[in-house]
Amino acid sequence: MDARKESRAATASNVYFGPSAQRKWLRRGAPRDVDVVLLTHPRDRADVERMFPWAGMLDGDALADLLDCLQPVYGEIIEAKGINIGILFLPILAEDMIDPRKRASSRSRMETEGLTKAAAMGARHVCLGGLTGALTNYGRRIEARSKELGIELTTGHAVTSVSIVRQFDKALSESGLSGGDAVLAILGVGSVGAGVARLLAHSPRATRPAELILVDTLQQQDRVRAIADEVMAYSSMRVSVEVLPTRYALPDGSRCYRDANVIVSAVSTPSILDIDLVRAGTILIDDSQPYCWDRNAAWARVQARGDILPCDAGLVDAGATAYRSFFPFDFADDVGNGSVVSWSCLAEGMLRASLPQLASNIGEADVAQLLAYERAFDKVKFGIPPLQCGRHVLDVAAFRRFLRDADGSSGERGGRS
């Protein structure tokens, strides 16, 4: 693996991570099933280098050749409370999954190689990580093959939506803001973005913003307007729609820049939001694959001005289930002893395995499913970890001071809407 130091915990007999994770697991006594598998992929070549550090020496063509030759590989197998969990990487980059010329071949490899390898390890539940949900029409295109293999698919989007709503609440609360202070833009109203909007309308636990702006492309405007009507029918939030002329960039005059002070993004086109155009005092929550905004630029602005709170989304504190991962995902709590942070899509599979009464999610999660997973999230005592940008823990207290000083007020704002 990478050059980080191994702790005593990381060398324990029940820790299996790195390219040889599956071999180490199978070598440990009697064969055991892996109950839940997260089927995911490297986001970029840096993720490939996390698994194979020597891949950094390869040029683009050589790396592509390597990925074409590789089979899916378990990056880690984790023993949690009552369940065994595998993280299975497809040898396909995110950029290839969104390339129209390569989508079909990527989906075929996922179905023929990825699902087969998960089934061979006894997986009962497979969670769709990264762009695999979008690649398969939220699981619909591989559902038949999954059933043949005895696998229940789940997109992970219900728990991802729940975690984003909880992170929105956490970011507001720790920043000294209430829902009434928030103008929330949801950039990308696909499965996750729509799930967030529906939870804000229907959940008794959600902090509701004063205004909700749903932002998507011209091709999606009918769908987005229908979701806006649905949200307005069930809540008192002001709701508006912004239609973008293209998916490749956010216009300088977008309401995300002009009016919103919270931006939740869940898109599949990289770097469409310019961090320099975000207005001071904005909270950003990004669940996009690849990233919607540049992490290095955001962190540089935090250090230079402290006037934004740029948060990675889709992270769940799963410590209550005795979950601990040693794969180098750059979670901020991992200082050599592993991390209790799980990707939210994997957390959904963990809930499915622990609470069989939960329905799996194929296609978009409806309101009943979203609320059921929200209750399950609380039942197993999942939580939201400290807010982070990349591998950096955010100093939310400093951001709160910025807001207070910018307001010209010495008092604190608080409460819930």
How far is the C-alpha of 24 from the C-alpha of 73, rounded, in Å?
13
Query: Among 162, 235, 262, 286, which Cα is nearest to 417's?
Result: 235
Q: Where are the beta strands (DSSP E) in 220-323?
A: 238-244, 262-265, 282-286, 308-312, 315-317
pLDDT at 9: 43
For residue 38, CA distances in Å to 85, 259, 332, 346 come to: 8, 37, 21, 6
How much of the chain exceeds pLDDT 90, in percent? 85
Q: What is the pLDDT of residues 16-59, one digit of tens each?
A: 988 999 999 998 876 689 999 999 999 888 899 989 999 999 99
Q: Which SS3 state, helix, strand or coil, does residue 317 take?
A: strand
- Name the pTM for this structure: 0.92
Query: Among 396, 378, 381, 376, which Cα is nearest to 340's?
Result: 381
pLDDT at 32: 80
For residue 362, CA distances in Å to 85, 98, 319, 342, 394 come to: 20, 20, 27, 21, 34
Burial class (CB in 10 A: 0-12, 13-18, 19+), 284: buried
pLDDT digits (tens), the chain, 417 positions: 343 333 334 444 467 988 999 999 998 876 689 999 999 999 888 899 989 999 999 999 999 999 999 999 999 999 999 999 999 999 999 999 999 999 999 999 999 999 999 999 999 999 999 999 999 999 999 999 999 999 999 999 999 999 999 999 999 999 999 999 999 999 999 999 999 999 999 999 999 999 999 999 999 999 999 999 999 999 999 999 999 999 899 999 999 999 999 999 999 899 999 999 999 999 999 999 889 999 999 999 999 999 999 999 999 999 999 999 998 888 878 877 899 999 999 999 999 999 999 999 999 999 999 999 999 999 999 999 999 999 999 999 999 999 999 987 544 433 333
Answer for the pair 358, 348: CB distance below 8 angstroms, yes or no: no
* CA angle (42 as vertex; 120, 118 as ends), nearest 5: 10
Preceding omega of 290 cis (within 30 degrees of 0): yes
Q: Taking every pair of C-alpha atoms in the chain, what is the biggest distance, in angstroms? A: 66
pLDDT at 14: 66
Backbone angles phi, psi at 110, to 5 degrees: -60, -45
* Location of structure tokens 């698994």: 51
HSE, CB side, 13 Å, CA atoms: give it for residue 348: 31
For residue 154, CA distances in Å to 291, 341, 365 come to: 22, 19, 10
Q: Which two tokens stand for residue 75?
A: 């990056």
Run of H or E including 209: none
For residue 301, CA distances in Å to 187, 277, 278, 389, 403 come to: 21, 11, 10, 11, 15
| Domains (range + CATH), the chain | 9-154+318-379 (no CATH), 160-313+387-407 (3.40.50.720)
Q: Show Cβ contacts of residue 279 under 8 Å, excluding neighbours closer than 6 positions.
A: 257, 258, 261
What pairs with residue 186 in β-bridges?
214, 264
Q: What is the pLDDT of residues 266-293, one digit of tens each?
A: 998 999 999 999 999 999 999 998 899 9
Positive or negative: CA dihedral 283, 378, 139, 225: negative
Answer for the pair 163, 266: CB distance below 8 angstroms, yes or no: no
pLDDT at 30: 64
* CA angle (153 as vertex; 148, 155 as ends), nearest 5: 150
Answer for the pair 92, 104: CB distance below 8 angstroms, yes or no: no
Backbone angles phi, psi at 331, to 5 degrees: -70, 140
